[in-house]
Structure 1
């Protein structure tokens, strides 16, 4: 049995001071329902999550008290991918024919700086500054650049592409294209990552309506098939967020195992993917994730970026809506925004940012603390 996405909805990312996080999530659900020509009462289940925007199940107060199963899911920045995986398996099992996945958030300004005790860590880890995610990602990027010959040029090009793509996306937060020079000369935050190489905590909501693919064409002429959904956690030796020590033997990241599992489940390889969404919490993570997801060898990113391979009209378009760098990251919604964008591309509705050549296969990847990756493969 295949699973289909028949409705997509997005509340614009950025800042919406007049709305709560839950209201932004509800707006995204209403948009997804309208896209599918359905009503809230038609939903048999819901999965959703939020970090700072409130309980996802409380959306029933906004949408209607219908008695459906609603399960809250929280997996850091991988919340959206994890919620989608839960919905995918619920339909694949045959228990349900139709439901909704939703994510939303409303974060305060400033970098994420969680408490060590919430993650099973002692206070010294936070006192060293490593709970501040800008510090960890910079350290990880430094190590990767050293090991694989990546230069600052690659980091700048990732950000330049992201802001250009964001300028073409009406729902993005950062809609001003920035030049190579503006990015290269921006304030250093955590070496080697500069001001415009980081995403920002944000607000927004995203929702998807899923159903058994056998009935999908009752609701849309453009169903998108969710051919694979995989979520994996870290191994001993993975170099991950909130790792208080590092073994001498380094293991693969969860992204590697999640990606391999998804490709095996879908029965395709990386070379068949037409458009990608990769977690880009910062420029360095996009570079790393290009290889960890199997789209190139470690160290090849430098030349691929220089050649424009990851641009909208390139051989492997990455983050066509600007990714996290241009959209910001409302944690609960970010992974579902990725899937929303892939659906837009596969449906041929991207407008100025549409990937040429009628893409048929899309890929999304989300990564969350303390080392969780979710990968989805979609086709038309």
Structure 2
């Protein structure tokens, strides 16, 4: 175990809409649940990292959890906020800064699409005037191009969403818990073609938290630690086409997901075929399609066959987004990446209920991706 870090507690506030509770209150709930799961007190936590896009500073959770003087760092990395907070806590524990750390994310987004401003992302107003600041438009354009290049049809987009809602129906804490039929998805309202209404996730509310410690000490707190074998975050290179890219380079560079994934597999000393349960960023059906290949789980163009064969189902050889992913849970930006980790921990512990992957997987994988080209990958192992 050397310098490994273990997850000893997981906590979640259900995603969706929770009137009467602020995003910070939902984050504090998640931390309390994670502390209870780990059997430790907030006063024992030596370092914390957390983030939120629209619900205030994470370090203000101290007002709700207790003012203990803990070093609490705010993290802001778009959809990769949770993964970045996790990687930061791990580095702090590995450095000897603290024995116990907390990673937390939460959010409470207003209804409707995200409405970022071009200048906040280093862009001029023309980019917004073309409609490209609306991420549904960007992801549709990127998906259409990808499908054309690799011979993928709309059928694959429908199957991604159908599986997401089927799995969400088995997940008590998911927001969307109604299974949708193929035709209902395929004939739903066009948003930005080829992507339709039920192929997109929704901004949402919720909180997620993890308690971690050095793997050497994990058995003091739990008899079912989850070892973090890799937690890697990477940003884009020149030439990769990402959210808020103002143009296409003549020669395309690998996406940050590709570089993060390769680094994580190398650090963990495993490969894609070793992974037993997978969480991939699925802000929309097209993004999941792209991410299956970018994370090394298939070749580009093979996704349609995987989906039709059932390989990505809970009982398949590549179970993906077993809790329904962002499509069924919604995406409170600060919490979404940690929700992925919590689902994999539940699977590795054998506690996933109706959505449990058969055979008690030993290794799990999580991946988040966000603007303006940030990706975080985590590989977890049952202790």
- Take 2:175 and 2:44, find their aligned partners in 1: how far apart are those partners? 32
- Take 1:326 and 1:68, find their aligned partners in 2: how far apart are those partners? 35
Match of 2:135 in 1: 133
Consecutive unaligned residues of structure 2, counting only runs of 5 or more, are: none
1:40 to 14, 39, 42: 42
Match of 2:364 in 1: 362
Name the SS for the 2:78 alignment partner: coil
2:186 to 164, 184, 187: 184
- The answer to whether the Cα contact below 8 Å between 2:81 and 2:337 also exists between their aligned partners in 1 is yes
- Take 1:56 and 1:95, find their aligned partners in 2: how far apart are those partners? 20
1:339 aligns with 2:341: yes
1:135, CA displacement in angstroms?
Answer: 0.3
2:244 to 230, 242, 245: 242
Aligned length, in residue pairs: 380
Stretches (4+) displaced over 4 A: none
Match of 1:308 in 2: 310
1:113, CA displacement in angstroms?
Answer: 1.9
- Take 2:361 and 2:205, find their aligned partners in 1: how far apart are those partners? 29
1:65 aligns with 2:67: yes
1:290, CA displacement in angstroms?
Answer: 0.2
Name the SS for the 1:26 alignment partner: helix
1:95, CA displacement in angstroms?
Answer: 2.1
- Take 2:95 and 2:69, find their aligned partners in 1: how far apart are those partners? 21
1:271 aligns with 2:255: no
TM-score by length of 2: 0.99
Name the SS for the 2:142 alignment partner: helix
2:124 to 102, 122, 131: 122
Deviations 1:324-366 (A, max 9, x none): 0000000000000000000000000010000001100000000
Name the SS for the 1:341 alignment partner: helix
- Take 1:254 and 1:244, find their aligned partners in 2: how far apart are those partners? 17
Deviations 1:87-124 (A, max 9, x none): 11111222221110000000000011200011010001
The alignment's C-alpha RMSD in Å is: 0.5
Consecutive unaligned residues of structure 1, counting only runs of 5 or more, are: none
- Take 1:134 and 1:377, find their aligned partners in 2: how far apart are those partners? 29
Match of 1:298 in 2: 300
Deviations 1:256-289 (A, max 9, x none): 0000000000000010000000000000000000
TM-score by length of 1: 1.00
